[in-house]
Amino acid sequence: MAALEIEHVEKILRGGQAVLRDVSCSARDGELLVVVGPSGCGKSTLLRLVAGLESVTRGVIRIGERTVNELPPQQRDVAMVFQNHALYPHMTVYENLAFGLRVRGTPRARLDQRVRLVAAQLGIEAMLKRFPRELSGGQRQRTALGRAMLRNPSVFLLDEPLSSLDAPLRAELRRELAALHRSLGATMVYVTHDQSEALSLGQRMVVLAGGRVQQIDTPAHVFQRPANRFVAGFVGWPPMNFLTADSFDDVARVPAGQGALEYGVRPECFSARPGGGDDLQLTGRIERIESQGSEWDLELTHRLGRVLARLRPERTLEVGEQIRLWVARGHLHAFDLTSGARVELKP
């Protein structure tokens, strides 16, 4: 096991297009670091740079004590799990698992022992003689994981490993993966475009957009104190509402910082009744009501636009009705209107 350090890494394609700009982040030894971002943000490229499948334009990548920039993939002591599993279709599960050790010339007995051990760990012993096309989605995923585990690499690189599975299976495997991470104590870099996966899985998460790091922090901090307007809008579901001071009923009471601001309110932070004297008010007309079970998603039009609120109403609401909502000041996020950076509000 080893730590992974990425320092000031840039990747510029031959055509001059920059995929990654000055990316720095690190995964401590044994940490599960999640890299999250919308598609095209460069997160897969980052993983491929670490794996050695592509070379960095500038910057340094270190695994443990070694700088691996110039090393070919097989010498970096990493393993990778691919989005579509990348299982070899012409090999059985056993052969898929054994591939890495076999091409390195590991003795047969040791190889066999390793394969069976890992298969047992993942619960796929019964599948060893099958071909990938004869497996279910979950079994394929486990096989792909097993293939990565077999060589006991320093760093696991997981590229959207669950995205090809359906929702219930994804949740199940996410839990298994977390448990596996704990039991292996391995350093893992987990790339996903799904912010909820990132929130639930990571010890720390890196939010990547436009080839730049937006924020690195624990999921709770990222959620509670998004570093900028992008992170605020990207992390959390349903997404945060962005409002101007004018949106609120009592403009004068909205706390102000320096310069022009934009305010963010998460849908679930609205309340249908006042919580305290400092709460801000917002009035709107209900355009749409959607039940989420115990909660309701309301889409309102207010003076300046639309807003989504998630409430637990005490009475029946109807479309077309005017409704007043309250927001506690503490739930208000503020961002600089031009730079998008977070602005701390004075209480």
Partner 1 sequence: MKRKRSTGALFVLPALVLLAVFVFIPLIGVLGLSLTDFGVYSLADSANLHVIGAANYWHLLRDREAWQALETTLVVVVVGVPATLFLSLVSALMIESIAERWRGMFRTALFVPVVCSTVAIAISWRYLLNTRFGLVNHLLALLGLGAPDWLGSPHLAILAITIVVVWKGFGYGMIIVSAARKEIPDELYDAARIEGAGVHQRLLRITVPMLAPTLGLLALLDVSGYWQLFAEPYVLTQGGPLGSTTSLLLLMYERGFRWWRWGAASAIAVALTAVMWLFAWVQRHTRAGWRGE
Q: Where do contacts with partner 1 occur on this chain (CB under 8 A)? A: 48, 51-53, 72-74, 78-80, 82-84, 86, 88-91, 99-100, 103-104, 131-133, 147, 151
Give the span between the Cα atoms of 90 and 131, in whole angstroms: 7
Give the span between the Cα atoms of 81 and 53, in whole angstroms: 13
In the complex, the smallest distance separating the C-beta of residue 72 from partner 1, rounded to whole angstroms, is 8
Nearest to partner 1 of 99, 223 (CB atom): 99
Nearest to partner 1 of 91, 128 (CB atom): 91
Taken in order 122, 128, 130, 131, the sign of the CA dihedral is positive
Residue pair 325/272 in contact (Cβ under 8 Å)? The answer is yes
Give the span between the Cα atoms of 181 and 200, in whole angstroms: 14
Nearest to partner 1 of 151, 329 (CB atom): 151
Measuring CA to CA, how many Å separate 120 from each of 113, 125, 142, 209, 274?
11, 6, 11, 39, 56
Structure tokens at 338: 């031009």
3-state secondary structure of 103: helix
In the complex, the smallest distance separating the C-beta of residue 101 from partner 1, rounded to whole angstroms, is 9
**Which residue type, as a one-letter code, is found at position 238?**
P
Nearest to partner 1 of 73, 340 (CB atom): 73
In the complex, the smallest distance separating the C-beta of residue 169 from partner 1, rounded to whole angstroms, is 20
In the complex, the smallest distance separating the C-beta of residue 184 from partner 1, rounded to whole angstroms, is 18
In the complex, the smallest distance separating the C-beta of residue 320 from partner 1, rounded to whole angstroms, is 51
Nearest to partner 1 of 30, 73 (CB atom): 73
Give the span between the Cα atoms of 40 and 107, in whole angstroms: 42
In the complex, the smallest distance separating the C-beta of residue 167 from partner 1, rounded to whole angstroms, is 24
**277: Cβ–Cβ under 8 A, 6 or more apart, which residues?**
none
Nearest to partner 1 of 82, 248 (CB atom): 82
Q: How many residues are there in the chain?
A: 347
